[in-house]
Amino acid sequence: MTGRRSRRDFIKAAGAGAAAISALSDVGRVKAESAGSATSGRVLGANDRINIGFIGCGGRMKSHIGYIVKRAKEQGDVQPVAICDIYDKRKREAREMTGVDEKSVHHDFRELCERKDIDAVFIASPDHWHHGHAMAALKAGKDVFLEKPFTYTIEEAREIAAFVKSSKRILQVGSQYTSFDHFHKARKVIEDGLIGRIVWATAGYGRNANKEGGEWNYDIDAGAS
């Protein structure tokens, strides 16, 4: 999240897809503002489309792709242009969803990042790849939507944060529960003094699962070798 972002933009973000889109509206604005200085090779005008590349097209990315494809059809301000995965089945599925051509299906993320026609990169690869994929995209001049967890280690997170600050790129981490509207409304209510002096605050989040094996343990894809 950057200071360039208005509260109104931010409050629009209600879920993961919406948060991503909200970040993207910022990407478009900043690109338009910094016309001439963008290193991605493309300079966007205010009415231009934001070209998106997707790295790691598994379960999570499918919902982002679905959202972007829907928005591309309905509003036309975004466009999926390239995908990257190392698993053929996922490449196939993501290609079908996005409709990109064969040469825009990448096995090596570096090829996708090097493309001049991409403005923003969505990353939903496994956690240990987040740093490598995000740094490659940022260094190639792209703005980034990166799934949570931000990185695998704290050192990696610090390195990315420092690079984002010095390069003035935009990176949003897909932690939708911290982007939800009500937290920011609560902050505004407090800042505006609407509920007086705060003496006590509580918050909670529970996710007990009855599923066998526990929450977040998925079966290995049947087609995986």
Ligand X SMILES: NC(=O)c1ccc[n+]([C@@H]2O[C@H](COP(=O)([O-])OP(=O)(O)OC[C@H]3O[C@@H](n4cnc5c(N)ncnc54)[C@H](O)[C@@H]3O)[C@@H](O)[C@H]2O)c1
Return residues touching ligand X (CB under 6 A).
16, 55-61, 84-87, 90, 109, 124-127, 129, 147-149, 174, 176
Cβ-based nearer residue to ligand X, 38 or 83: 83
- Which residue's CB atom is positioned nearest to ligand X? 58
Cα–Cα distance, 81 to 138 (Å, whole number) = 17
AA letter at 67: Y
In contact, 121 and 137? CB cutoff 8 Å: yes
In contact, 2 and 169? CB cutoff 8 Å: no
Torsion angle of the four alpha carbons 12, 156, 88, 119, in this order, in degrees rounded to the nearest 10: 50
CB of 176 to ligand X, least distance (A): 6
CB of 93 to ligand X, least distance (A): 9
CB of 53 to ligand X, least distance (A): 11
CB of 202 to ligand X, least distance (A): 23
Give the DSSP letter of residue 52. Answer: E
Cβ-based nearer residue to ligand X, 33 or 88: 88
63 sits in which H/E element:
helix 59-74
Tell me which residue of 204, 31, 137 sits closest to 147, measured CA to CA: 137
Cβ-based nearer residue to ligand X, 44 or 121: 121
CB of 99 to ligand X, least distance (A): 19
User: How far apart are the two ends of the chain, measured CA to CA in Å?
Assistant: 38
Q: Where are the alpha helices (DSSP H) in 109-205?
A: 109-114, 130-139, 154-167, 176-179, 181-191
Cβ-based nearer residue to ligand X, 17 or 141: 17
Cβ-based nearer residue to ligand X, 38 or 151: 151
Cβ-based nearer residue to ligand X, 44 or 83: 83
Cα–Cα distance, 191 to 99 (Å, whole number) = 46
CB of 96 to ligand X, least distance (A): 14
